[in-house]
Amino acid sequence: MIVASNLTKRYGDKTAVDDLSFTIKPGIVTGFLGPNGAGKSTTMRMIMGLDTPTSGSVTVNGRPYAEHAAPLHEVGALLEAKAIHTGRSARNHLLALAATTGIGARRVDEVIDLVGLHEVARKRAGGFSLGMGQRLGIASALLGDPATVLLDEPVNGLDPEGILWIRNLLKGLAAEGRTVFVSSHLMSEMALTAEHLIVVGRGKLIADTSVAEFTRSASRNIVRVRSPHADRLRGLLLGPDVTVDSPEPGTLEVTGLDSDRIGTLAAEHGVTLFELAPQQASLEEAFMELTRDAVEYHATTTVAGSVA
């Protein structure tokens, strides 16, 4: 259980996290979604007590992280892929972290096997690929068998097999009753992994909703209709809560009526239809729509050649 209340972090005059309040419940995977620079990593660092909030507070399992006597057993975190000394081997890195809380070598070897780093456990971490670094970070997060797991962009740098592995791992951890909080800037990834979503943009909370609800509200049900009698059809369809756009002659985009209803109406009035196609906005589009105003870095310039 993670509870943030009015969490705010300012760096100089830049507000990275702005009055963020949310509750992350155990037993499910909660996705933390937002464009780059939305304040996800800063929020996670504040949860782990690495950054001090400018105002507001955040607790894990009832108290600030730093006040837990056995922190590694409360929260396991993957904050940055390589929070690892490059000169130390993976196994020694884990042994050193484990020693702080009295965890022995057996558990260290257990998590190494769990993340599939057995072959390279005695090699210097500096030579690790991004994906291996992620796996080592996940191993250190799981060392203390924590009740809460916090992962910042865990799928970065992983191959498809690794992504599938993470997905199942996270779901498994949640099924065991743990609190699982995972950040990502990829809506599609979260749709497959998470049950609940916290969406942020420019440090502000944009949505705190279940994935199912988000998907439902996201897919604005537009029906695309092509007809030689488009103008006549428009008159038939229009009504309260129904809008009809015409992006090009002979084509209508109808919002507020489903395709069954439109087809029936057309048949009743003898209007010929060439096309009747429900359009679903993809989750990615819905996410972009939602966070459009909150994107920190817009690509505003186009390639010069294409403008000319």
Partner 1 sequence: MSTTTATPPAAPVTKAQPGKVTQLRVLNSEWIKLRTLRSTPITLLVAVVIMVGLGMLITWAHASHGGGPNGHSDPVNGAELSLALYFLAQLAIGVLGVLIVSGEYSTGMIRASLSAVPKRLPVLWAKALVYAAVVLVLMTAASLAAFYGGQAILSSYGEAVKISDPGAARVVFGTGLYLTVVGVLGVGLGALIRNGAGAIATLVGLLIIVPGLSHLLPSSWSPHIVPYLPSNAGGALLNVVPDSTLMSPWSGFALFVGYAVALLLIAGVLLKRRDA
Single out the residue of 25, 88, 123, 229 in contact with partner 1 (rule: CB under 8 A).
88
Q: How many CA atoms lie within 13 Å of 67's alpha carbon, on the beta-carbon side? A: 7
Part in contact with partner 1 (CB under 8 A); list of ranges 137-145, 193-201, 203-211, 221-229? 137-145
Interaction between residue 40 and partner 1 (CB under 8 A): no
Task: By CB under 8 A, tell whether 73 contacts partner 1.
Answer: yes
69 binds partner 1 (CB under 8 A): yes
CB of 264 to partner 1, least distance (A): 51
* Residue 65 C-beta: closest distance to partner 1, Å: 6
Residue 177 makes contact with partner 1 by CB under 8 A: yes
Collect all residues with Cβ–Cβ distance below 8 Å to 29 and sequence separation of at least 6: 170, 171, 173, 174, 180, 182, 193, 194, 195, 196
CB closer to partner 1 out of 157 and 250: 157
The vertex-65 CA angle with 62 and 67, nearest 5°, equals 85
Q: Pick the closer one to partner 1 by CB: 26 or 278.
A: 26
The phi and psi torsions of 64 (rounded to 5 degrees) equal -55, 145
- Measured CA to CA, the distance from residue 248 to residue 251 in angstroms comes to 6
Query: How far, in Å, are 10, 77, 135, 200 from residue 54 at the CA level?
Result: 6, 22, 32, 18
Contact of 188 with 280, CB cutoff 8 Å:
no
In this structure, the number of other CB atoms found within 10 A of the CB of residue 232 comes to 14
Is there binding between residue 240 and partner 1 (CB under 8 A)? Answer: no
140 binds partner 1 (CB under 8 A): yes
Binding partner 1 (rule: CB under 8 A), the pick from 10, 25, 68, 224 is 68
3-state secondary structure of 65: helix
Query: Judged by CB under 8 A, which stretch of 113-121, 170-178, 246-254, 269-277 contacts partner 1?
Result: 170-178
* 86 lies in the binding site for partner 1 (CB under 8 A): yes
Q: Give the amino acid at 307.
A: V
Instruction: Tell me how far apart the alpha carbons of residues 224 and 250 are, in angstroms, rounded to a whole number.
Output: 11
Distance CA 167, CA 78 (A): 15
What contacts 271, CB < 8 A, 6 or more positions away?
227, 229, 232, 233, 236, 265
* Residue 33 or 44 having the CB closest to partner 1: 44
Among 10, 19, 49, 109, binds partner 1 (CB under 8 A): 49
Q: Which stretch binds partner 1 (CB under 8 A): 17-25, 64-72, 189-197, 208-216?
A: 64-72
| 109 belongs to the binding site for partner 1 (CB under 8 A) | no
* 130 lies in the site for partner 1, by CB under 8 A: no
Residue closer to partner 1 (CB basis): 107 or 229: 107
Q: Is 102 in the site for partner 1 (CB under 8 A)?
A: yes
- Six token digits for residue 257: 């009526």
For the CA atoms of 12, 46, 42, 20, the dihedral, rounded to the nearest 10 degrees, stands at: -90
Quick one: 30 or 291, whose CB is closer to partner 1? 30
Residues in the site for partner 1, rule: CB under 8 A?
A: 26-27, 45, 48-52, 65-66, 68-73, 77, 79-80, 82-89, 92-93, 95-97, 99-103, 107, 140, 144-145, 147, 176-178
